[in-house]
Copies of this chain bind each other. A is one copy, B any other.
Amino acid sequence: MKQLLFASTATIATAGIAAAESGINLSGYGRFGIGYLEDRQNTTLTTTTANGTVNQFTADSDEAILISRFRLNIDGFTETDGGVRFEGRVRLQADEDSDTGEANDAGLNGARFSVIYGGLRVDAGNVAGSFDNLDDYFGTEPGLEEFLGQYSGVNYSFLEYESTGSGDNAVFFQYTVGDFAVSASYDQNTIFANNGTGATTDRDRWDVSAAYTFNNITASLVYGETDEGDGVEKESLTVFTLGAEFNDFYGTLFLADDDVADDDENGTAYGFSVAYNLGAATTLQLVYGDGSADNDTRNIGVGAIYDLGAGATLRGAVGEVKDGDDDGRIQADFGVWFNF
Asked whether A272 is an interface residue with its Cβ less than 8 Å from the other chain, the reply is: no
Find residues 102-148 in chain A having any chain B CB closer than 8 Å to their own CB: 102-111, 113, 115, 124-126, 135-136, 138-141, 146
Q: In the complex, are the beta carbons of A102 and B168 less than 8 A apart?
A: yes
Q: Which residues of B contact A81 (CB under 8 A)?
A: 309-310
B61–A283 touching, CB < 8 Å = no
Report A176-206 residues with CB < 8 Å from chain B CB.
Answer: 188, 190, 192, 195-197, 200
Contacts of A26-80 to chain B: CB distance below 8 A? 26-30, 32, 43-45, 57-62, 65-66, 68-70, 72, 74, 76-80
Contacting A21 at CB < 8 Å: which of B80, B166, B310? Answer: B310
- Please indicate the chain B residues that have their CB under 8 angstroms from the CB of A14 in the complex: 10-13, 15-17, 20-23
Q: Are A340 and B24 in contact (CB under 8 A)?
A: yes
Q: Give the interface size bracket for A toward B.
A: 35 or more
Q: Are B339 and A10 in contact (CB under 8 A)?
A: yes
The distance in angstroms between the C-alpha atoms of A86 and B335, with both chains bound, is: 12
A250 within 8 A of B: yes
In the assembly, what is the distance between CA of A61 and CA of B126, in Å? Answer: 19
- Candidates B1, B24, B82, B141; contact of A26 at CB < 8 Å: B24
When the two chains form the complex, which single residue of B26, B109, B250 contacts A2, counting CB atoms closer than 8 Å? Answer: B250
Does A100 lie at the interface of the complex (its beta carbon under 8 Å from any beta carbon of B)?
yes
Chain B CB within 8 A of A217 CB: no
Please, how many angstroms separate the alpha-carbon atoms of A103 and B159 in the complex? 14
Cβ B30 vs Cβ A23 within 8 A: no
Please name the residue on chain B nearest to A139 by beta carbon.
B2
A101 within 8 A of B: yes
Query: Of B22, B68, B135, B340, which one neighbours A1 at CB under 8 angstroms?
Result: B135
Q: Using a CB-CB cutoff of 8 Å, which residues 81-101 of chain A contact chain B?
A: 81-82, 84, 86-90, 92, 94, 96, 100-101
When A11-B25, A13-B15, A196-B59 are in contact, do A92 and B72 touch as well, CB less than 8 Å? no
Whether A278 is near chain B, meaning CB under 8 Å from some CB there, is no
What is the CA–CA distance of A89 and B89 in the complex, to the nearest angstrom?
20
* Chain B CB within 8 A of A321 CB: no
Residue of A23, A62, A78, A84 with highest tally of chain B CB at under 10 A: A78
Sample 13 A-B pairs with CB under 8 A, ordered by A number: A2-B136, A5-B307, A12-B12, A13-B14, A13-B24, A14-B16, A14-B20, A62-B190, A68-B113, A70-B113, A94-B111, A103-B167, A106-B108
Q: Chain A: residues with CB nearer than 8 A to chain B? A: 1-2, 4-17, 20-30, 32, 43-45, 57-62, 65-66, 68-70, 72, 74, 76-82, 84, 86-90, 92, 94, 96, 100-111, 113, 115, 124-126, 135-136, 138-141, 146, 165-171, 188, 190, 192, 195-197, 200, 250, 252, 275, 283, 305, 307-313, 336, 338-340
